Each structure stands twice: as C-alpha cells, then as structure tokens.
C-alpha cells in the first residue's frame, strides 16, 4: 500500500500509471471529496490538439462571420469590446 512521504508525495502504482497512460509531466487535478482524495487526469495532449485542429478546420470551412443579429448578448458584448479596442488602436496588453 502506498504511503505519503515527508514531502506529501504518493507514488502511484505502476499498473495504475500504465492503465491511465500517466507519464512524467502529466497534469492531474487533486480534489478532496468527503473523506476521499480524487485524482483526475486531464485529456491527453493528442486529444486536445486533435480537437483544436477540428475547430480550425471548421473555421476555415465557413469563413463567413456570423451576422451580429444572430449572436447571443454575451458574444455581441465581446464583439463590441473588440471593435471598440480596434477603433481606438488599443491592445489587450496596453492596460496591463
């Protein structure tokens, strides 16, 4: 049974690491739920890159912007802010 070392680390058994494809550098989220510690892995980088590629392909396939009237209120607000910033020549880093 794994134990917590003096620095608070727990070694995940090899068979679990292998089954979850946990390799050095894999990001995990650790949560406390009731009396249990839950360790969750994020999606593998390959899946994130595949999803990004799909999104880029979808954007490229439909280069026409969505008409302003078809946008929800939050999207219109973001669009207004972007257009206002572009008109003033200000960039997002100017306020930082």
pLDDT of residue 36: 94
| CA gap 68, 76 in Å, rounded | 7
pLDDT of residue 94: 57
Which residues in the chain come in under a pLDDT of 70?
A: 62, 90-96
Cβ count near 17 (within 10 Å): 14
pLDDT of residue 46: 79
pLDDT of residue 93: 60
CB 38 within 8 A of CB 31: yes
Token pair belonging to 81: 């802010």
| CA gap 43, 49 in Å, rounded | 10
Q: Where are the domains of the chain?
A: 45-85
pLDDT of residue 12: 93
pLDDT of residue 42: 79
Verdict on whether the full-model pTM lies above 0.75:
no
């Amino acid at each position: 049974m794994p134990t917590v070392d003096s620095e608070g680390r727990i070694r995940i058994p090899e068979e679990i690491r292998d089954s979850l494809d946990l390799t050095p550098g894999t990001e995990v989220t650790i949560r406390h739920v009731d009396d249990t510690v839950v360790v969750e892995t994020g999606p593998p980088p390959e899946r994130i890159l595949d999803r990004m590629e799909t999104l880029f392909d979808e954007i490229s396939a439909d280069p026409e912007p969505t008409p302003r009237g078809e946008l929800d209120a939050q999207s219109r607000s973001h669009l207004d802010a972007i257009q206002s910033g572009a008109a003033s020549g200000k960039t997002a880093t100017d306020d930082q």
